[in-house]
């Protein structure tokens, strides 16, 4: 009778040799191999997302409520100061819904990028000691950002219902499209920046500053009509503005959820025209998604090239 | 251990070299200030130089050498954690690396949660972990603390749990980096018995150790490294002598 050792030896003799990680095919083949490798680690990804969520508020009494308090306070600030005190709400109907939908989508994007960028460095302990497909760390950050986004989405939808603004129309289809675009671009940047951050720690601080600036490059606290009016003389400026995929996604998101923006409204004595949504929005969204996938592919290839030295650079 | 006749090769290392570049500046400011002179701010040395060998299934092989001789780097290259600059490493079968016990533990999670997380990191599915869970807890002997956050564990409890998980992963190849001397004496003995059980089951063990006694007791082959080169490859007793000799250079 064969002993356990002999059985094992026989099984091993049948197996093909595998080259150690990453020596495999380059470009497209390498991308597909990486995706397959990540897919085979999906249970681990799930556990890492849970770990991130659980550990974040582990010892606080309010726990997950904290992840809601921040956006709600932000909403309050923008609603009271920008909306009422500075008077932006006079030109924007249902200002609360408008601002909160913008903040919700922006929150998803900025959290993916900010926490994704530092994800490799924060998991240094694991990366130095165990081989895992390293893309899993920015993806885990993305997963926890999605979870927070979903909680905010529930609050947003509840608010929309309470205010009697539920936008049942085909425009709702813009919402998933907007989320998909933000996810594609967010993950692409998270993957790329997390790898660069290993070699140049300044990246994570640079990202913080860049996100602060980019917040104002999308129509989150000011409306699209304002941009259209400001750039009336130079329509090419609008095209440049719309090249930012997040601005475009933001508009699509608002078009889906912020019903008042597509209607004629009367606030006090002012009559407010509906938002002049950009022409060919569907085509633009499709292009933004495709361009995002190309960028994601390139980002993953750069990541794969850089990750070979992660363990010694961290 | 009696080696099997015509055992298959499980690890094949061909001409592997690894160069480390040590940059002295890390921040953007320093890089810009030193731009163009950056060559002067680099140091490199070869941690491994043209290392080649093969390992047959079921052998226990000890990697020994002085501090800085490249043994841990070689172990990391074998585990795919570091990529070599030159040469290839091929292997087959399931590999588990025990380079640091509890590397994946998160201090804020409980022992139970960490068992699931760490098992997933080492490659077990959730279902398999469910199956092994009781046996892992029994092996570690810390049942009453399993639902406590691991940051409250003593260092002994920590390594016990980590080792218990690692030995339940069912690897074909096990990489071990000086982690066998953990816990108190009875637990150490338990670990040694487990390693011997692994040997009897035909698993391949690659071990980095500074303890000559341990190497002599466990290994049937020793590779001595010195400054990134293989200076000896052969039986355990001769290997220890070669190691002593290499200290003198």
For residue B125, the chain A residues in CB contact (below 8 A) are 43
Share of chain B above pLDDT 70, in %: 89
Q: Which of A129, A203, A307 to mutate to test the interface with B (most CBs of B within 10 A)?
A: A129
Closest chain B C-alpha to A304 CA, distance in angstroms: 12
Q: What is the count of residue pairs from A and B with beta carbons less than 8 Å apart?
A: 129
For residue A131, the chain B residues in CB contact (below 8 A) are 79-81, 97
Q: What Cα–Cα distance (Å) separates residue B56 from each residue in A310, B2, B51, B92?
A: 30, 12, 17, 11
Facing A54 at nearest CB: one of B90, B109, B122: B109
Q: What Cα–Cα distance (Å) separates residue B43 from each residue in A314, B69, B73?
A: 17, 17, 18
Can you list the positions of beta strands (E) in A10-158? 18-19
Can you list the alpha helix ranges (DSSP code H) found in A63-123?
A: 65-77, 95-122
For residue B172, the chain A residues in CB contact (below 8 A) are 8, 12
Residue A309's nearest CA partner among B185, B81, B95 is: B81
Over its C-alpha atoms, chain B yields an Rg (Å, rounded) of 20
Nearest CA in chain B to A310: B82
Note the CATH architecture for domain B60-84+94-247: 3-Layer(aba) Sandwich (3.40)
pLDDT at B26 over 80: no
Coil, strand or helix at B218: helix
pLDDT at B39 over 80: no
Write the pLDDT tens digit of every residue in B92-119: 888 887 777 777 788 888 999 999 998 8
Closest chain B C-alpha to A236 CA, distance in angstroms: 35
The position carrying tokens 């869970």 is: B133
For residue B10, the chain A residues in CB contact (below 8 A) are 12
Residue B1: the pLDDT is 45
Facing A126 at nearest CB: one of B79, B89, B103: B103
Residue A216: the pLDDT is 93
Cα A219 from Cα A213, distance rounded (Å) = 12
Nearest CA in chain A to B198: A5
Residue A283: the pLDDT is 95
For residue B100, the chain A residues in CB contact (below 8 A) are 125, 129
For residue A309, the chain B residues in CB contact (below 8 A) are 82-83
Kindly give the pairing relationship between strand B229-234 and strand B221-226: antiparallel
User: Mean pLDDT over residues A47-52, rounded?
Assistant: 90
Cα B32 from Cα B130, distance rounded (Å) = 53
Backbone angles phi, psi at B65, to 5 degrees: 160, 170
For residue A132, the chain B residues in CB contact (below 8 A) are 121
Write the pLDDT tens digit of every residue in A284-308: 999 999 999 999 999 999 999 888 8
Facing A8 at nearest CB: one of B83, B122, B201: B201
Q: Domain limits of chain A? A: 33-53+61-313
Note the ipTM here.
0.81
Facing A15 at nearest CB: one of B92, B97, B201: B92
End-to-end CA distance of chain B: give it in Å, rounded: 32
Closest chain B C-alpha to A295 CA, distance in angstroms: 25
Closest chain A C-alpha to B241 CA, distance in angstroms: 30
pLDDT at B121 over 60: yes
Contacts of A193 (CB under 8 A, 6+ apart): A113, A116, A117, A203, A204, A207
B83 touches A at CB < 8 Å? yes
């Amino acid at each position: 009778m064969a002993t356990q050792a002999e059985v094992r030896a026989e099984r091993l003799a049948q197996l093909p040799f595998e080259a150690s990680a990453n020596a495999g095919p380059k470009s497209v083949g390498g991308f597909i191999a990486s995706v397959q490798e990540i897919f085979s680690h999906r249970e681990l990804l799930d556990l890492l997302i849970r770990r991130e969520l659980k550990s974040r508020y582990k010892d606080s009494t309010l726990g997950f409520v904290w992840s809601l308090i921040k956006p709600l306070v932000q909403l309050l600030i923008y609603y009271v100061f920008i909306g009422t005190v500075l008077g932006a709400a006079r030109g924007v109907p249902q200002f609360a819904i408008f601002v909160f939908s913008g903040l919700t989508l922006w929150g998803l994007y900025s959290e993916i990028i900010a926490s994704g960028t530092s994800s490799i460095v924060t998991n240094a302990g694991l990366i130095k000691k165990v081989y895992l497909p390293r893309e899993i760390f920015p993806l885990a950050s993305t997963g926890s950002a999605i979870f927070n986004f979903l909680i905010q989405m529930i609050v947003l939808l509840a608010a929309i219902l309470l205010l009697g603004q539920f936008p049942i129309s085909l425009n709702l289809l813009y919402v998933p499209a907007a989320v998909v675009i933000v996810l594609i671009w967010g993950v692409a940047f998270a993957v790329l920046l997390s790898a660069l951050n290993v070699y140049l720690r300044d990246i994570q601080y640079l990202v913080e500053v860049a996100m602060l600036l980019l917040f104002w490059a999308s129509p989150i606290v000011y409306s699209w009509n304002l941009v259209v009016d400001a750039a009336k003389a130079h329509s090419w400026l609008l095209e440049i503005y719309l090249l930012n995929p997040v601005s475009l996604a933001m508009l699509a998101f608002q078009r889906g959820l912020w019903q008042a923006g597509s209607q004629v409204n009367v606030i006090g004595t002012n009559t407010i025209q509906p938002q002049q949504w950009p022409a060919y929005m569907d085509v633009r969204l499709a292009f933004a998604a495709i361009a995002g996938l190309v960028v994601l592919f390139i980002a993953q290839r750069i990541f794969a090239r850089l990750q070979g030295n992660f363990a010694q650079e961290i | 251990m009696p080696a099997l006749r015509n055992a298959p090769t499980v690890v094949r290392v061909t001409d592997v070299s690894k160069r480390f570049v040590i940059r002295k500046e890390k921040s953007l400011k320093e890089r810009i200030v030193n731009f163009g002179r950056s060559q002067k701010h680099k140091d490199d040395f070869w941690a491994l130089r043209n290392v080649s060998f093969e390992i047959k299934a079921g052998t226990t092989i000890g990697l020994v050498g002085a501090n800085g001789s490249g043994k841990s780097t070689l172990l990391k290259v074998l585990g795919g954690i570091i990529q070599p600059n030159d040469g290839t490493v091929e292997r087959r079968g399931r590999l588990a690396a025990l380079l640091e016990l509890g590397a994946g533990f998160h201090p804020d999670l409980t022992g139970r949660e960490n068992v699931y997380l760490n098992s997933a990191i080492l490659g077990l599915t959730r279902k398999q972990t469910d199956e092994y869970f009781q046996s892992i807890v029994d092996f570690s002997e810390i049942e009453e603390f399993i639902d406590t956050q691991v940051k409250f564990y003593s260092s002994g409890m920590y390594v016990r749990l980590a080792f218990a998980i690692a030995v339940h992963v069912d690897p074909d190849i096990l990489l071990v980096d000086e982690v066998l001397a953990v816990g108190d004496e009875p637990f150490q003995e338990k670990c040694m018995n487990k390693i011997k059980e692994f040997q009897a089951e035909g698993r391949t063990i690659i071990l980095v150790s500074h303890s000559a006694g341990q190497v002599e007791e466990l290994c049937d082959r020793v590779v001595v490294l010195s400054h990134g080169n293989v200076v000896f490859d052969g039986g355990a007793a001769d290997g220890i002598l070669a190691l002593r000799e290499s200290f003198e250079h």
